[in-house]
Amino acid sequence: MVTGSTQHDHHVPLTDTEVLRIRNDFPILETEVNGKPLVYLDSGATSQNPLSVMEAEQEYYEQRNSAVHRGAHTLAVEATDAFEDARETVAGFIGANSNELVWIQNATAGLNLIAYAFGNASTGKTSEAAKRFALVPGDEILVTEMEHHANLIPWQELCRRTGATLRFIPIHDDGTLDLQAAEVLLNEHTKVLAFTHVSNVTGVINPVSELTAMAHSVGALVVLDACQSAPHLPLDVKALDVDFAVFSGHKMLAPTGIGGLYGRAELLDAMPPFLTGGSMITTVTMEEAGYLPAPQRFEAGTQPISQAVALATAANYLRETGMDRVHAWEEFLGQRLVAGLEAIDGIRVLGPAAGVPRAGLASFEVDGVHAHDVGQYLDAEGIAVRVGHHCAQPLHRRLGLNASTRASTYLYNTTADVDAFLAVVAEIRGYFGVEGTQA
């Protein structure tokens, strides 16, 4: 397992001076949008890539591009080594063993993989070991009201296919999870608890260890959506004791088309496969096939090899910067965002108030102005944010909204970025002629 760098004291937050140096690694941040310097506050959707990550992918194609786990020629061996070294690096980044990391297209694909594998265990001929994943009418899957659609719809569909029942843990008005309700909802019928580590809308950081202990006490498996945590805070899946976790590379400085699915080794080896074909088999006859152990049993077909190499480079970049430092800096920026927004008339911030721990993002409503108009006004000033329901319609509905505007930070954002954003937000209601009015 790759160990952390000792290049920095990882408990000291980043500073604006260091962040300005970090920005030099990200060429896109030097661009202009609508004649204004780009202020990129949409990393919650997709992060930017440092030069080292882009170079790693290019170098792979220039020097060792070949099919992995096939062929004995030199390039094939070098490609396979690079591919599996990347797996070890990325597994180490989240505190897992390399045989517990499955390469996936993105977190959505990973959650579907788990749900379909459980569904495959619920129908037809399956191994004795796989029966623990089978669902029948009367069984329950528990999610939360704050889930991204990717961690909701696959479970809706699995329940539809198996007859199991989907339930959800409600949230409080401040966006935090109702843990008392969770205790009641978790019972002997609960087979799966699937929830997000960090809300992509409110920035709420859920108490993973507490929820996991509650789920395990009734024998339920825990699936963690780590999309907004793996890039932004120290993540140790073993310490958290979750059974499965998913994350996407494009949110953590890596290319699109690559992500990771963590599963406990004994669970992955017992799960039936989802996609079948080449590269995941042992023996094939015209009547049946045998499957490799994990992680290969879940990696049918040609793999995202260059993307995996680039994701490993991104993981090393973050490790060398120090995830504790990244998290501390983003929490500082997140608090600056929330406090600044709360000080502007006619702005409603979703989620916890300033002073409550949160991730480095803030979603908000501008009274009297639609979120899309807010986003366009910001874009005219070179500021990139996300508008809409952020793939979390039930959460927005619970908070009484159809859409919101979200600003999300990363390790390359400065206090000046946040302040520029706040200054423009303060102009919006006046520009649209709704200042001093109440919708």
* Token representation of residue 92: 């180490």
Mean pLDDT on 41-70: 96
pLDDT for 436 equals 65
Q: Is the pLDDT of residue 2 over 70?
A: no
d(CA 22, CA 105): 28
pLDDT for 78 equals 94
* pLDDT confidence band for 342 (50 / 70 / 90): very high
Tell me the pLDDT tens digit for each residue of 259-278: 999 999 999 999 999 999 98
Tell me the pLDDT tens digit for each residue of 276-320: 998 899 999 999 999 999 999 999 999 999 999 999 999 999 999
CATH numbers and ranges of domains, the chain: 16-50+323-431 (3.90.1150.10), 56-319 (3.40.640.10)
* pLDDT confidence band for 242 (50 / 70 / 90): very high
Partners of residue 195 on adjacent β-strands: 224
d(CA 213, CA 311): 31
Q: Is the pLDDT of residue 205 over 60?
A: yes
C-alpha distances in Å from residue 427, one per residue of 43, 106, 354: 24, 37, 21
d(CA 347, CA 265): 47
CB atoms within 10 A of CB 62: 9
d(CA 134, CA 120): 8
DSSP structure class, residue 350: -
Residues 6+ apart with CB under 8 A from 248: 106, 107, 227, 258, 259
Tell me the pLDDT tens digit for each residue of 104-152: 999 999 999 999 999 999 886 778 888 899 999 999 999 999 999 999 9
Cβ atoms of 162 and 119 closer than 8 Å:
yes
* pLDDT confidence band for 157 (50 / 70 / 90): very high
Query: In sequence order, what DSSP letters do the residues of 54-88 get, joined into one string?
Result: HHHHHHHHHH----TTS--SHHHHHHHHHHHHHHH
pLDDT for 435 equals 75
Mean pLDDT score across all residues of the chain: 94
Per annotation, catalytic residue among 391, 401, 426, 434: 391
Q: Is 391 a catalytic residue?
A: yes
Partners of residue 191 on adjacent β-strands: none
* pLDDT confidence band for 11 (50 / 70 / 90): low
Lowest mean per-residue pLDDT among 42-46, 387-391, 432-436 = 432-436
Hey, which bits of 300-385 come out as E strands?
347-349, 361-366, 383-384
pLDDT for 71 equals 76
